[in-house]
Amino acid sequence: MAIASMGSSSWASSSVIRTPFPIAERGLEGLTMEGVARGAGVPIGSLYQFFPDRNALLALLFSQFLHVTDALVEDRFRAVDSAAGLQAAAEGLPESLYEAIAGDPALVEIWSAVQAIRALRHLGVEDSRRMASVLFEAARPFAPDSVDDERLSRVCFLVCDLLGAVTRTALEQGGREGELLVQEYAEMAKSYVSQVLKG
């Protein structure tokens, strides 16, 4: 996993700094400001100008992680052209997301930390809203007139935010139990979306 600079020109002028950090091997407990500064070859004071604390580093790592999950969600719903296709996409998303995260120990560490640290939970909510926006755009053409945009937006947010909670629990359980939890949620999501589309 790499930590990339996203700050001012003075930071970027020394080239885009990328710091390899073995999160998968050492876990986030080993993520320290001193270690990152040393790996990037910059003074610790310079690092603090852009990342005032460890949570700021985690937020950046999470933003990089979102490139993976956002692409997965967009790919799954981009080709939806029918109500049946929408239901199938909604049913398949939980397993795809779980497999993408569970297959990368570094992503498990980062994603779980954001869900567990109170100061970072808003990032998870924002992620749910982004996912919900993609789902909303895919679902809107197939929603009946009795389901207005406000309700459909709530439905999409609930589906995506609850998916985050289920994924976290499944990752904590791991193994076959984790997979079964995700499968149960997938059935629930499919049924819920189907019910809403019927009005």
- Cβ distance 185 to 92 under 8 Å? no
Give CA 121 to chain center in angstroms: 11
Q: Where are the beta strands (DSSP E) in the chain?
A: 2-4, 18-20
CA angle (132, 65, 43) in 5-degree steps: 135
Nearest alpha carbon to residue 107 among 167, 52, 48, 51: 167
**What pLDDT, on a 0 to 100 scale, did the predictor assign at position 34?**
84
CB atoms within 10 A of CB 112: 16
- pTM value is 0.79
Q: Which domains does the chain have, with CATH numbers?
A: 2-52 (no CATH), 55-197 (1.10.357)
CB atoms within 10 A of CB 104: 17
For the chain, the residue count is: 199
pLDDT along the chain (199 residues), means of 10: 44 39 65 77 79 83 81 90 92 92 82 79 89 95 95 96 91 92 95 89
